[in-house]
Amino acid sequence: MAQQAAALIAALALALLLLAAPAARAYDPNTPSVPWSQLSPQEQRVLGPVAPDWDRMPGFQQQRLRSSARRYPSLQPIQRERFENRLRDWTAMTPEQRRAARETFQGFHRLPPEKQHELRERWLRERGGGRGRPPGR
């Protein structure tokens, strides 16, 4: 049960990162990496929780995060708080938890839209009427 909860939290964290940068979703292993020192001060401030891992991340992942950091100033306060919490949650996860989260996220998005909606609704009901974060959102 604890592993399922961790995987769900991980999937939610990843979902925000992916949904926050829709134009940069594509996995392209040829995307060049950017050293942390080349990020703008604003990007470094927003992405501070991932600083220790930044130089080991693949370029496509860095690109998604930078895109999210550029959008950060235009987010509503509640959206900023969610982004910060999810980024912090993601950085606290083990590599195995992150792998499980990616698999959960990918599996969820392979489902038909009706099934995704059904799962979101069930998740919200189990969380007490809308509190918390639904999968894939």
Segments making up each domain of the chain, as ranges: 2-126
Q: What is the pLDDT of residue 21?
A: 45
What is the pLDDT at residue 24?
Answer: 42
pLDDT, averaged in runs of 10, over the chain (137 residues): 57 51 59 93 96 92 93 95 92 91 87 90 78 52
Q: CA 135, CA 123: separation in Å to the nearest integer? A: 8
Residue 108 buriedness (CB in 10 A; 0-12 / 13-18 / 19+): middle
pLDDT of residue 68: 93
pLDDT recorded at residue 102: 85
Whether pTM > 0.75 for this model: the answer is: no
How much is the pLDDT for 30?
83
Sign of CA dihedral 72, 44, 92, 28: positive
